[in-house]
A = this chain, B = another copy of it.
Amino acid sequence: MTPTITAFERSPDRGRGLARDMRVRWALEEVGQPYDVRLVSFQAMKEPAHLTLHPFGQIPTYEEGDLALFESGAIVLHIAECHAGLLPEDAHARARAISWMFAALATVEPPIVELSMAALLERDKAWYGERLPGLRENVRKRLGELSRRLGDADWLDGGFSAGDLLMVSVLLRLRSSGILDEYANIANYVARGEARPAYRSAFAAQLAVFTAASKGE
């Protein structure tokens, strides 16, 4: 059965692939599972029909027959459990890859989002200049730790896994900050993720949505 995911009708990142549907698209491409996309406007995201699918009124969601899921991490894990290719077969290696999935979303992403949100919402505030260095330092703390662990390996723990998929997705949100380039091995790690054919297909698909919406203006 072909699953249906939701994505922004018009992504606020203007097609840079930073919205969270990208993570799910990438996972589906990695395992070769075709999917349908239903686009949702900002207004429709807060209406009852969508809130039934996603209690927090966000994208992406995932529908497959009777099953409806939300949270990109949970959806990627579900895809990884239903198909080969995103989690190791060995039980211990699989559990470790899941540690990296949670680390990406619960430990590495929050300071990155906090930095982005400050840039978006507090840039005009008197305190922005004073707060900014601390926000950047919080991100660097995590990236320094990640860089030490990664060392010269290609991926975080053995072969590419759903842990890498989420970690690269999270790190890509840092590109415009310039911080990524302070850690050569992390910048290369992110580039390896972006070079994967599945990433490129997913990226092209989300960009096509944004381009089509722009032409419709």
Interface residues of A (CB under 8 A from B): 51, 55-58, 66-75, 77-78, 92, 95-96, 98-99, 101-103, 105-107, 109-110, 113-114, 125-127, 130-131, 142, 145-146, 148-149
Instruction: Count copies of this chain in the complex.
Output: 2
Report yes or no: B67 in contact with A95, Cβ–Cβ below 8 A. Answer: yes
Report yes or no: A105 in contact with B103, Cβ–Cβ below 8 A. Answer: no
Report yes or no: B148 in contact with A107, Cβ–Cβ below 8 A. Answer: no
- Interface pairs (17), CB distance under 8 Å: A55-B103, A55-B148, A56-B145, A66-B92, A67-B92, A67-B95, A71-B102, A71-B106, A74-B102, A75-B99, A105-B105, A105-B106, A110-B113, A110-B114, A125-B127, A127-B127, A127-B130
Instruction: For the complex, give the distance between the alpha carbons of A102 and B23 in Å.
Output: 14
A167 CB to nearest chain B CB (Å): 11
